[in-house]
Amino acid sequence: MLRNAFTMQLKPGVIEEYKRRHDEIWSALAKELANAGITDYSIFLDEESGKLFAIQKLSDNNTADALPETAVVKKWWAYMADLMEVHADNSPVCLPLREVFHID
């Protein structure tokens, strides 16, 4: 099992809307993530800065790199683009994090 961690950035004043949209995550998106081998996916928030910290577990044979090409992920990105820092294609600006410590 692999772990993937990254940060994203919310725009000011959108925390509650971001949470609401994730509380109502589309079943098709959740299924697509699971099918790609992503499990135990959490997003944490630094409320002062609006910085999001995400961590997910990936199966050894995951296909997460192909997710940006799926219709449901593109639709989700467009749905979330007004709340986050995004690229021209609406994909969130994600900064990967390097794991420096882990304990089970």
Encode pLDDT of 40-88 as tens digits.
999 999 999 999 999 999 999 999 999 999 999 999 999 999 999 999 9
- Does pLDDT of 104 surpass 90? no
Q: Considering the chain, what is the average pLDDT of its residues?
A: 97
Burial 65-84 (b: 16+ CB within 10 A, else e): eebeebebbeebbeebbebb
> Which of 52, 53, 56, 17 has its CA nearest to residue 33?
56
Confidence (pLDDT) at 3: 96
Do the domain assignments include residue 29? yes
Do the domain assignments include residue 46? yes
Do the domain assignments include residue 104? no
Domain interval for residue 85: 2-96
Do the domain assignments include residue 101? no
Q: Which residues pair with 73 in a beta bridge?
A: none
Do the domain assignments include residue 62? yes
Domain of 37: which CATH number? 3.30.70.100
Residues designated catalytic:
22
Do the domain assignments include residue 102? no
Confidence (pLDDT) at 69: 97
Encode pLDDT of 2-44 as tens digits.
999 999 999 999 999 999 999 999 999 999 999 999 999 999 9
